[in-house]
Each structure stands twice: as C-alpha cells, then as structure tokens.
C-alpha cells in the first residue's frame, strides 16, 4: 500500500459505496473500505470518524457552494431566483464521477436504514445552508424555509434525472436541477 497518494478521500467514498452496494452497509467494515481504496485504516480515520460519515462526504462543500451562489445572486432576485443561483453554483462543481456514483449511492442508501437517516440529515443541512443564506439577504424566515426546501427537492430530483439521463454528461447537472425547480415553482403556483 502506498504511503500517500492523492485522491484518498474520493477513493474511500467510491470504495465504500461499492462495498455497501455489493455486500450491504452492515456487513462492510472500515478495514474492507480502506483495503478497496488502497489506503490504511489510519488514513481512513484521518478523513472520516466512521463509515457512516462517508455518505455525507462533501456536505460542507455543497452547503458552502449553495450559500455562495445565493449570496452572489442579483440584489433584486426573488428568493427562488436566488436559490436557482445557489443550485447552479453547486451543480457546476459536479462532474462525471458524481454522476457515475449516483445510482450506486442510491442503491446503498435504499438498502440501509442508517444510511437513509444520514441522507435525511444531509438534506436538512442543505436546507439550513440555503435558508441561512436567504435570511442574510433579508428574506423572511417562512419564505426562506420554503424556498430552501424547494431547492433541496430540486437538487435531489435533478440529480436523479441527471444520473438516469444518457445525455447527462453532455448537459451537466445544472440544467436538470433548474428544470425541476421551474416545475416546482409552477406546481406551487397551482396550490392556491
């Protein structure tokens, strides 16, 4: 095993998702994840406190990107336009590796209650980041909360469409996410 090789964190995530899919979350050990990724257990623990945290790898970065995009939206942008700017910013950082990981990650999460709980916490974190960024723009709390929840739903559904779309790599994630947000906006207008 190499003493240090770049990309260990990413390799650990991919190895874990693959192992979770192949043999289940509960049956997968940290030692197996480290071995599959080509690193030591101590390297694993330098990146993650435990195997549960692999699912939320990148959560802080995603939340930061969403917040940055919202903060940089034009001053006259509506709350949903600001959320769209946040979604576009975060989506721009997602590439082919994220797309390829999507179906495997979905399967791993579907097979484990513990991973479903972690995934729900990830959604809560995304919503909180967007809501805080909207509040910084002076958006009332209830409106910020609703807009951020719509943003989370748009991101999740858009990511699923992107993962399933054979043209996904050509278009990137952003068009899928923004189309879902537009669909949600239209649906909300019909709520009366």
Q: What is the pLDDT of residues 44-67, one digit of tens each?
A: 999 999 888 887 777 888 999 999
* 7: pLDDT strictly greater than 90: no
Q: Any long-range contacts for 94-97 (C-beta under 8 Å, 24+ apart)?
A: 94/159, 94/172, 94/173, 96/169, 97/10, 97/14
DSSP 27: T
The residues near 26 (Cβ < 8 Å, ≥ 6 apart) are 112
Instruction: Name the percent of the chain lying above pLDDT 90.
Output: 55
Query: What pLDDT, in 10s, does the model give residues 161-180?
Result: 998 877 766 788 999 999 99
Architecture of domain 58-189 in CATH? Answer: Orthogonal Bundle (1.10)
pLDDT of residue 34: 95
Give the pLDDT mean for 144-173. Answer: 89
* 123: pLDDT strictly greater than 70: yes
Give the pLDDT mean for 152-160. Answer: 95
pTM score? 0.84
Q: What is the dihedral of CA 121, 123, 128, 129, to 10 degrees?
A: 120
**Residue with structure tokens 């990830």?**
122
* 15: pLDDT strictly greater than 70: yes
* Lowest mean pLDDT segment, chosen from 27-31, 130-134, 154-158, 170-174: 170-174
pLDDT of residue 155: 96
Choose which CATH entry (3.40.50.12780, 3.40.50.300, 1.10.10.60, 1.50.10.10) describes domain 8-54.
1.10.10.60
Residue 73: name the closest of 128, 130, 124, 122 by CA: 130
Instruction: In whole angstroms, give the CA distance from residue 44 to residue 37.
Output: 9
Instruction: In whole angstroms, give the CA distance from residue 150 to residue 154.
Output: 6
* 3: pLDDT strictly greater than 60: no
pLDDT of residue 70: 98
* 116: pLDDT strictly greater than 60: yes
Name the residue ranges covered by the structural domains of the chain.
8-54, 58-189
């Amino acid at each position: 095993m190499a003493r240090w090789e770049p990309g260990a964190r990413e390799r650990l995530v991919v190895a874990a998702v693959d192992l979770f899919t192949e043999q289940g979350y509960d049956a997968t050990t940290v030692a197996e994840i480290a071995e599959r990724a080509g690193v030591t257990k101590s390297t694993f623990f330098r990146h993650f406190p435990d195997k549960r945290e692999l699912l939320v790898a990148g959560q802080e970065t995603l939340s930061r990107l969403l917040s940055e995009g919202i903060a940089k939206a034009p001053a006259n942008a509506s709350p949903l336009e600001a959320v769209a700017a946040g979604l576009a910013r975060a989506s721009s950082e997602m590439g082919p590796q994220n797309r390829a990981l999507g179906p495997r990650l979905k399967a791993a999460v579907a097979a484990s209650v513990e991973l479903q709980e972690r995934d729900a916490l990830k959604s809560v974190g995304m919503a909180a980041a967007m809501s805080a960024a909207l509040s910084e723009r002076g958006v009332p709390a209830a409106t910020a909360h609703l807009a951020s929840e719509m943003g989370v739903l748009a991101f999740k559904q858009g990511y699923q469409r992107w993962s399933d779309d054979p043209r996904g790599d050509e278009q990137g994630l952003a068009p899928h996410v923004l189309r879902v947000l537009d669909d949600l906006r239209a649906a909300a207008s019909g709520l009366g």
